[in-house]
Amino acid sequence: MAADAESVQVIDTRVGFDGFFRVDVHKLRYRKFDGGWSEVVYREVFERGSAAAVLPYDPHTEKLVLIRQFLAGFHFTGRDAFPLHILAGMINPNETPAEAAHREAMEEAGLSLSRQPLERIASYLPSPGGSSEVITVFAACVDASVAGGGHGLAAEHEDIRVEVLSADDAISLLDRGEIEDGPTLVALLWFARHRDRLKREWRIHANRG
């Protein structure tokens, strides 16, 4: 729920940077828990836009489809620049998170997601102290036997490799601390709790289809 003028007063906003992303500089004050107002403060907010992410799961083979590609943030923190992670991308104007998930699955992995509704895992802000980005994460039923190879949009300089893992292996990577991408952490932690239900329900749906 958005804060109203009774709890946050925005005095002024200016654009600090406007390139591939935008940074807005806000002059504001907020209502303190004792009822008074804070001093006037400045807060820069990284306006990245919102994103959708999806974990494709094959309930018949117990396989998950993940990808690797170059991610600058991983490189510049001294990590493996090509981490294993789920499919994800920015939500275009006039596009719902679910529509973005379907599009990204095709662009990044050549996958058509099941016609059954996506299972919404979570919608969250990964860095709310300085970014307005909201990520909506889904799980989707797929046929993992057709997954593999290289994908990505040349116009976005993407070079993506698809990897198919057993559910057990993916959860083991999570438990060993080898998954460091935020949406992938959220998705796999949720999947480990809901795996048996998904396997049961999605197998029934596929058999009826």
Q: How many domains does the chain have?
A: 2
pTM beyond 0.75, yes or no: yes
Residue 82 has pLDDT above 60, yes or no: yes
First to last CA, the chain: 39
Q: Determine the pLDDT at residue 2.
A: 52
Q: What is the CATH number of the domain that holds 89?
A: 3.90.79.10
- Which pLDDT does position 19 carry in this prediction? 87
| Position 84 in a domain | yes
> For position 114, what pLDDT does the model report?
80
Residues acting as catalytic residues:
156
Q: Does 59 share its domain with 13?
A: no
Whether 2 is in a domain gets the answer: no
Q: Are residues 56 and 39 in the same domain?
A: no
Q: Are residues 72 and 129 in the same domain?
A: yes
- Whether residue 143 lies inside any domain: the answer is yes
- 155: containing domain: 51-208
97 burial via Cβ count (<10 Å: 0-12, 13-18, 19+): buried
- Measured between alpha carbons, how far is 124 from 12 in angstroms, rounded to an integer? 27
Residues 117 and 151 in one domain: yes
Q: Average pLDDT in the 145-149 region? A: 88
